[in-house]
Amino acid sequence: MKRVRLLLVIVILSVVLGACGTTPEPQASTQAIEVEKEVEQVAVPDCAIEPPAKPVEFTYLGWPMPVMAPYTTALDKCNAVKNIKVYVREMDNASAIEQMSLAFGSGGASPFAIVMQSNSSIQQNVWKGWLMPLDDLVEKYWEKYQLDDIAPVHWEAATFDGTIYGIPMTANVIMLMYRSDLFKKYNLKVPTTYDEIISACGVLKQEPGLTVPFAMDLSAGWAWSIAFYEALASLGGNVFVEGTFEPAFNSPEGVAALTKIKEVADACMGVEGMALGSNGMGAGMGNGTIGFIHTWASEGAALIDPEKSDMWDKIAFAPAASVEAGGKLAGSSWNDFWAIPASFEGDADLVFQLIMEAARADHQAEAAKAGLVPRTSALLSSENPLATAALETLEKGVGPVPKSIAYPILDAALGNYLPFVGSGELTPKEALQKAEEQYISEATDKGYLK
């Protein structure tokens, strides 16, 4: 197995304000298409790629996000390079994933040269053999594009069985955001454990105008699954028996994790709070009706924007709390990636250079105005109050969800039953037992378990 050398760097995640849009161009084949027409050479400081000998066309497929706009804009600028034509196609996430699956599963050459991937989709596509290994190209261009500027944790998220399959383009982490005025008013310390969250909720309930003192996303089955993974890993538990597809979440640690989430929900949120998704929680913080939240770092930009938040000058940030003192911080980390399909038959080296040009530090510095990015230099170039707390959560938190071909089945099983703990229809033990039974049945049908 090849391993690309990774230099340990200090990362500060930061979010500043701003966004820009990208207009998709028409679809075109991404195979290396020979065209007889000559193209005039143009000096292109924004896309420093050696022009290919003959004209080629490539298509990028992804979904629109403000943080992605500088990257797709950079791809568009590469159209000024002699003999290169790049088409940017963007659609909603579900439609893009469907288009990729149809293309990759057809058995023919991929019509896409670059595809955007989330944490979940990169797993599924790697296990199916649908993405191209990138180790050789990463090693070849490591120095030229200063790839040690991308933190090891992000490379690790793109690495499966020792092989890199994606270039990290965005980052995210779940952490705490709170109203500093209320914490000062009631002489509260920022919670570092779930019991301290519960204690702070007891105090903040007396504050007029608060709908709920605290919220974490428990609005859907997938949200319960994330919250459970964070709490379980914070307590030292695992969802799988290490190195196997055997479930390990129905354990004393699993019961304790789910019990504590239920205690937080009952003490701080109630039915109304559990109905809030991340957008609702952010809105509540922005209009002053929620005291503090456990949410995505990407929500922070809007909260400190005077045009979007009434509380913009009162919002402060802190690392995620651990379930118990001394445990890992119960904040998970996430990425989006750009990858090359395994069935792409064009010039992969040239496509990789296009990705590298888009992922340059100056482009990531622009992207950092709208979200989190993996390059250290880009993150350090922006100063904001989110940075230190996000860094600590990234370094001391539970990290990303496990990489396993069976994880989507396990995730769905947890999502089907954990919400019944919130409603009181199932005990934590009962919910985990039912989720385990569903997972074992479906994993056995898939051949992951015997």
pLDDT in tens, 302-340: 899 899 999 999 999 999 999 999 999 999 999 999 999
Give the HSE-up count for residue 428: Cα atoms under 13 Å, Cβ half-sphere.
19
Lowest mean pLDDT among 19-28, 40-49, 239-248, 284-293: 19-28
* pLDDT band with cut points at 50, 70 and 90 for residue 37: very low
Model confidence at 211, in pLDDT bands (50, 70, 90)?
very high
What is the arithmetic mean of pLDDT over 207-217? 96
d(C-alpha 236, C-alpha 254), whole Å: 10
pLDDT band at 27 (very low <50, low <70, confident <90, very high): very low
Angle at 339 between CA 229 and CA 442, to 5 degrees: 40
What average pLDDT score do residues 18-28 get? 34
pLDDT, position 6: 35
Cα separation, 217 vs 222, in Å, equals 10
Q: What is the pLDDT of residues 57-66, one digit of tens each?
A: 999 999 988 8
What is the end-to-end Cα distance of the chain in Å, rounded? 28
Segment 395-422 shows an average pLDDT of 94
Q: Do 173-332+402-445 and 56-169+334-387 fall under one CATH topology?
A: yes
Per DSSP, the chain holds a count of helices (H) and strands (E) of 19, 11
What is the spatial distance between Cα 251 and Cα 237, in angstroms, rounded to a whole number? 8
CA angle 315, 321, 324 (to 5 degrees): 155
pLDDT in tens, 127-173: 999 999 999 999 999 999 999 999 888 999 999 999 999 999 998 89
Cα dist from 185 to 177, 179, 195, 360, whole Å: 16, 10, 21, 44
Q: Average pLDDT for residues 293-304, to the nearest whole number?
A: 89
Confidence at residue 312, expressed as pLDDT on a 0 to 100 scale: 95
Query: How do the domains of the chain map onto residue ranges?
Result: 56-169+334-387, 173-332+402-445
With beta carbons less than 8 A apart as the criterion, state whether 225 and 235 touch.
no
pLDDT at position 383: 63
pTM of the complete model beyond 0.85: no
What pLDDT does 278 receive? Answer: 87
Q: At CB < 8 A and 24+ separation, what contacts does 106-109 make?
A: 107/343, 108/343, 109/31, 109/343, 109/344, 109/345
Q: Regarding predicted confidence, which is higher, 66 or 406?
A: 406
Average pLDDT over residues 419-445: 98
**How does DSSP assign 316-346, residue by residue?**
EEEPPPBSSTTSPEEEEEEEEEEE-BTT--S
pLDDT band at residue 294 under the 50/70/90 scheme = very high
pLDDT at 300: 87
pLDDT tens, residue by residue, 376-387:
888 777 666 787
pLDDT value at 445 more than 60: yes
Q: Percent of the chain beyond pLDDT 90? A: 74
Work out the pLDDT band at 41, boundaries 50, 70, 90.
very low
Q: List beta partners, residue 175.
A: 295
Instruction: Name which of 6-10, 106-110, 149-153, 383-387 the model is least confident about.
Output: 6-10
Answer yes or no: CATH 3.40.50.300 is held by domain 173-332+402-445: no
Q: What's residue 34's pLDDT?
A: 33
pLDDT for the residue 45: 63
Return the pLDDT at 151. 87
What is the overall mean pLDDT for the chain?
A: 88
**Superfamily, domain 56-169+334-387:** Periplasmic binding protein-like II (3.40.190.10)
Higher-scoring residue by pLDDT: 253, 404: 253
Is residue 8 over pLDDT 60?
A: no
CA 241 distance to own-chain centroid: 24
With cut-offs at 50, 70 and 90, classify the pLDDT of residue 429: very high
Instruction: Read off the tokens for 422.
Output: 């919130």
Of the chain, the percentage scoring pLDDT greater than 70 comes to 89
Amino acid type, 220 = A
